A = this chain, B = another copy of it.
């Protein structure tokens, strides 16, 4: 009936180490849930080995800050499970979530820029972390890692620009539908999805306040729009963070049409 999505398994790095495939990296990364999707799968064996020697796993509880712009020690990581939110916070208290990052995505800002961002764990996380120094050393030694990062950064930029359209031009109703749709899509692994899903259920990594901060709305507006989606049968009512999508195609429709 429903496809119950779950976070990818968080196999400990000791798992799968008995196969003896040769290199240390192969062994350490063997059981990694995101190894085929993450950027480490796109680099040369040599580079992957360097990365494999440098990483450490780290669990981060929901709500904890991963990095902020004022902080000295840089950190880079691949998300193994959970969701990271990037927030732009201002002195006057206003804030806007400007990015959500899902398993297999890369977290961190090489060549430190000027932006005032806060990266926080939206849900409990498991990360594959690299210290700033280690990662940058590897990056400078292996240009293919820079290439892989470039591809991902370009994709992030495309995503950000789609998001900008939403913030600038969509109605509250479309925005809420867009966000629910996006989270549903991204919490489902493309690999496990053979055809477009029509029903699904998932735990949202975001509270109402956080949804509002994503969408440039107030939480009351989000709540009202979700009520309308339920009333229209697009969502079934469930507990606060549990979303029960009754029709993904309807959800997509509402996320793109301003009227009615």
Contact = CB atoms under 8 A, between A and B. Distances in A.
B143 A147 contact: yes
A256 to B, nearest CB: 8
A171 to B, nearest CB: 10
Interface residues of A, number: 44
**Per DSSP, are chain A's interface residues mostly helix, strand or loop, or mixed?**
helix
A167 interface: yes
Given A88-B164, A94-B169, A169-B216, 4 more contacts: A88-B162, A88-B165, A94-B258, A167-B167
B96 A155 contact: no
B167 A113 contact: no
Interface in A93-130: 94-96, 98-99, 109-111, 113-115, 117
Contacts of A151: 111
B161 A161 contact: no
Contact of A158 (B95, B114, B146, B149): B114
B95 A161 contact: no
